[in-house]
Amino acid sequence: MIEAITLGPPGPFRPVAADRNPRGQVRLSGGTFTMGDTFGEGYAADGEGPVHDVRLDPFLIDATTVTNAAFAAFVKDTGYVTDAERLGMSAVFHLTVQADSADVLGRATGTPWWLVVRGASWRHPHGPLSSIGALQNHPVVQVSWNDAQAYCAWAGKRLPTEAEWEYAARGGREGNRFPWGDELTPRGQWMCNIWQGTFPTHNTAEDGHVATAPVKSFRPNGFGLWNMVGNVWEWCADTFAADTYAVRAGQIPVHDPRGPLHDPSRSAPRVMRGGSFLCHDSYCYRYRVAARSSNTAESAAANIGFRCANDAG
């Protein structure tokens, strides 16, 4: 991911928690499940092990990621300005940039396929010449963890914990690699929106999508949740550490682990889950349900979105 540029304190907007709102959410019963990488395929720095049992209370989670249309309603109602808009630039994948050359400000160190583009934001996800006009039912992107928190407060929801997210993504299956099983393309059928071809230069788009797909593309998992892997990375409430699971060792089962929702220092990385349309096993095999990644709270990019959760009530 592109390295974040530190922002100053947030603007005058202060979200006031709305009444709990379960609209668009699926109720999951919780219970005990096995969390982590049972195949030994994860990256060591991501901390996908050790595998351990987690017990969750019942909770609610959105059937889809938050759409451009829903985020636009939030902005219209509140006047909220996202971190990327405040900064005036954001990260865009090099093959999808829609901007004049003067607005391409540089490349990310170590990941040169990410460009810093002036004017890229949730309204203009691939640069100032792009638009969400035809993407109302696509996931909102170019939103930071801070932006997701603000939306959740307005919507009467919250971000899912990392444990809730993985339980939901598994869709009732125990120990599988993907929400639908262990094979990426059962019977030759694509089940999620990821990269096909040679990364990062040629995407054959065999799954039908070069960038984001509508939020109800492909098949929902066993819980009726759409696109839990691929399409866009999804923010979780938790702060990230590679040794999170190791610290839990011996607590069997761990009960409803929850990362802090607020970090006064604003410095701790936050968990992202699910991978995105740019994931490919040659460099980012993170479209598995156990895969973990992270970014700073103010970071945004053209492949980062979120879905909301709620207490069961």
| Residue 259, pLDDT above cutoff 80 | no
Residue 282: burial class (beta carbons within 10 Å; 0-12, 13-18, 19+): exposed
Q: Average of pLDDT values for 286-292?
A: 98
pLDDT digits (tens, 9 = 90+) for 192-223: 999 999 999 999 999 999 999 999 999 999 99
**Would you state the structure tokens that stand for residue 35, as one six-digit string?**
């969390």
Domain boundaries, given as residue ranges, for the chain: 27-63+141-311
Burial 82-95 (b: 16+ CB within 10 A, else e): bbbbebebbbbbbe
**Would you state the structure tokens that stand for residue 45, as one six-digit string?**
């720095």
Q: Measure Cα distances from 120 to 10, 57, 65, 102, 155 in Å.
A: 19, 39, 20, 13, 25
Q: What is the CB neighbour count within 10 angstroms for residue 192?
A: 25
pLDDT digits (tens, 9 = 90+) for 72-118: 999 999 999 999 999 999 999 999 999 999 999 999 999 999 999 99
Give the model's pLDDT for residue 8: 45
pTM: 0.93
**Do 237 and 256 meet the contact criterion of CB atoms below 8 Å apart?**
no
CATH number of 27-63+141-311: 3.90.1580.10
